[in-house]
Amino acid sequence: MNKDFKGYLSIVLHAHLPFVRHPEYPRFMEEDWLFEAITETYIPLIDVFQRLVDDGVDFRITMSITPPLMCMLSDNLLQERYIAYVDRLIELSEKEIVRTMFQKEFNDLARMYLRKYKLCKEIFVDRYNGNILQAFKKFQDMGKLEIITCSGTHGFFPLMLNQKAKDAQISIAVSTYEKHMGRKPRGIWLAECGYQPGDDELLKKHGIKLFFVDTHGILFGVPRPKYGVFAPVYTSNGVAAFGRDMESSKSVWSAEEGYPGDFNYREFYRDIGWDLDFDYIKPYIHGEIRCNTGIKYYKITGKGNHKEPYNEGKALETAANHAGNFLFNRGKQIEHLNSYLGKKPIVVSPYDAELFGHWWYEGPYFIEYIMRKAFYDQDVIKLITPSEYLAENKELQVVTPCFSSWGYKGYSEYWLNGSNHWIYPHLHEIADRMIEIASTHKNANGIMERALNQAAREVLLAQSSDWAFIMKTDTTVPYAVKRTEEHVENFNKIYKMIKDDFIDEAFLNDLEYRNNIFPDIDFRIYSE
């Protein structure tokens, strides 16, 4: 890299899914969230990183991989189920190659899907032996990728009133990260960027050096942040806070102006799971319920219902153009900021990882082209991870970021409104109760210790912000309601057993079998 670069660009992908694992059923629809994300986002990203490494492209990306996602990706049952999932897709795409024999435009696409699914299987099974966390770890160990953690089960801190409950979320996040990544995390993605002043003290306690807030988290910080979001700040506890850049965010996120809406890109809503004859597609959907299979043959085409066949070559060309445009704009932005601020700005562009590939099918290629073009075609921008930035830039302003989130309207409303406010009396109570029993039973062992550990898992699972989020978005609401109710109920049952000093072992066995997140948890993270 040329020493005369004008500023930094940090691309951050937040990879998260709630813990969904139902060994009690042979197949379970919501488990497909994970399998779709592996197929369309995580493996394509691994494939991109590998190609970049093979071609000698020095790149930098930051990814949060949340603790529930780490637990699912390392779980044997889900790994086996993923292989069965991708095998079904391979079988379906083979059938599609025959079925579309007289429709060349679709036949080419059926072959594309077969090629991609076979690659998924090869990467998943042959290269990483079922655990793709190893792939991410490999790129981290090479210094290309920085993996950060996230609040334990993606708990939304601004509505989690007990500091000890937040502390436990961070504690389990750090130990989960360490188990899979072989070192401690330097950074954290607070779930939904939900930050409340004071939470940084907990981060410091656990050795975490940096976190992210939304734009106004920095802009409304106290005192005024001299460089806006273009330099991180230190909180009074010496933890660095990086703010989201709005301009680069919008170019990807915005429904109207964003790249993913280009008419050449693949249309998400036309899937053969909905389009084809029921009897034919039945083995590849869920029982009697039509759902997406992942095989989609159309491009966005235009605003109306008329859709034309997808053209892979054209779509990839578009992604390359968009990547060029993105980098060009960042270059202009950074040059302007540099001359104006009199220092090298950092532009932080965070996105949900699942946007790339799952929603925006060409997204992983967009990332790849950005990395290639940044390496070969320019010398204005230096790609960097936040912890590298901190190593190069030691002097930061001390600012207390403002209470904020990156959700709708920027604060807590999305997670606290008429659709989901009923959960908080329960969530607060079980957290308080957990702290109580963890403090009174510090020396527990045997079955009592197991019960306390499971109680902690149930609290953590209930705290996933995903449930409140789903209730508000009005999709799969019954599942989110049921999960909240079940974990609260499970906790309350165990709590009573512990208070009564009588553990129903069959009940405990069943919960340990089903809700096995954080296999090595020690309930004492809740002890006071």
Residues 5-44 that bind other proteins (CB under 8 A): 22, 24-30, 32-33, 36
* Closer to other proteins by Cβ: residue 32 or 200: 32
* Closer to other proteins by Cβ: residue 305 or 445: 305
* Closer to other proteins by Cβ: residue 183 or 250: 250
Residue entry with tokens 């965070």: 350
Q: Is 410 in the site for other proteins (CB under 8 A)?
A: yes
Contacts 24+ apart (CB under 8 A), 184-188: 185/147, 185/148, 185/149, 186/146, 186/148, 186/210, 186/387, 187/62, 187/64, 187/146, 187/148, 187/149, 187/211, 187/212, 187/386, 187/387, 188/64, 188/148, 188/149, 188/150, 188/151
Candidate ranges 117-125, 168-176, 202-210, 242-250; the one touching other proteins (CB under 8 A): 242-250
Q: Is 482 in the site for other proteins (CB under 8 A)?
A: yes
Say how many residues touch other proteins, by CB under 8 A: 103
Which two tokens mark 326? 């993105």
Nearest to 147 by CA among 344, 373, 391, 353: 353
Q: Which of 57, 90, 316, 416 binds other proteins (CB under 8 A)?
A: 416
* Closer to other proteins by Cβ: residue 128 or 403: 403
* Closer to other proteins by Cβ: residue 4 or 24: 24
Q: Is 473 in the site for other proteins (CB under 8 A)?
A: yes
In the shown chain, the binding pattern of residues 147 to 186 toward other proteins, with x for contact by CB under 8 A and - for none, equals -----------xx-x-------------------------
**Cα gap 461→374, rounded to integer Å:** 40
**Cα gap 297→120, rounded to integer Å:** 19
Degrees (nearest 5) of the Cα angle 285, 288, 294?
15
Contact 30, 476 (CB under 8 A): yes
Q: Which of residues 197-236 bind other proteins (CB under 8 A)?
A: 197, 215-216, 218-230
- Backbone φ and ψ for 320, nearest 5 degrees, come out as -65, -40
Q: Is 287 in the site for other proteins (CB under 8 A)?
A: yes
Question: Minimum distance from CB of 276 to other proteins (Å)?
Answer: 8
**Cα gap 404→488, rounded to integer Å:** 27
* Closer to other proteins by Cβ: residue 325 or 417: 417
Q: Is 243 in the site for other proteins (CB under 8 A)?
A: yes
Nearest to 511 by CA among 528, 496, 489: 489
Contact 137, 181 (CB under 8 A): yes
Q: Is 484 in the site for other proteins (CB under 8 A)?
A: yes
Taking CA atoms, 317 is separated from 39, 176, 177, 265, 320, in Å, by: 22, 40, 37, 10, 5
Candidate ranges 51-59, 165-173, 369-377, 412-420; the one touching other proteins (CB under 8 A): 412-420
**Cα gap 390→212, rounded to integer Å:** 13
Q: Is 238 in the site for other proteins (CB under 8 A)?
A: no
Question: Minimum distance from CB of 178 to other proteins (Å)?
Answer: 28
Candidate ranges 67-75, 199-207, 314-322, 409-417; the one touching other proteins (CB under 8 A): 409-417
Q: Is 494 in the site for other proteins (CB under 8 A)?
A: no
Which two tokens mark 231? 């330099």
Q: Is 82 in the site for other proteins (CB under 8 A)?
A: no
**Cα gap 29→9, rounded to integer Å:** 38
Contact 78, 27 (CB under 8 A): no
* Closer to other proteins by Cβ: residue 44 or 225: 225
Q: Which of 53, 90, 125, 341 binds other proteins (CB under 8 A)?
A: 341
Sign of CA dihedral 512, 513, 515, 520: positive
Q: Is 308 in the site for other proteins (CB under 8 A)?
A: no
Q: Which of residues 497-526 bind other proteins (CB under 8 A)?
A: none
Question: Minimum distance from CB of 262 to other proteins (Å)?
Answer: 20
**Cα gap 495→432, rounded to integer Å:** 11
Q: Which of residues 54-73 bind other proteins (CB under 8 A)?
A: none
Question: Minimum distance from CB of 137 to other proteins (Å)?
Answer: 26
Residue 169: exposure state from Cβ atoms within 10 A (0-12, 13-18, ≥19): buried
Question: Minimum distance from CB of 76 to other proteins (Å)?
Answer: 19
Q: Is 88 in the site for other proteins (CB under 8 A)?
A: no
* Closer to other proteins by Cβ: residue 233 or 370: 233
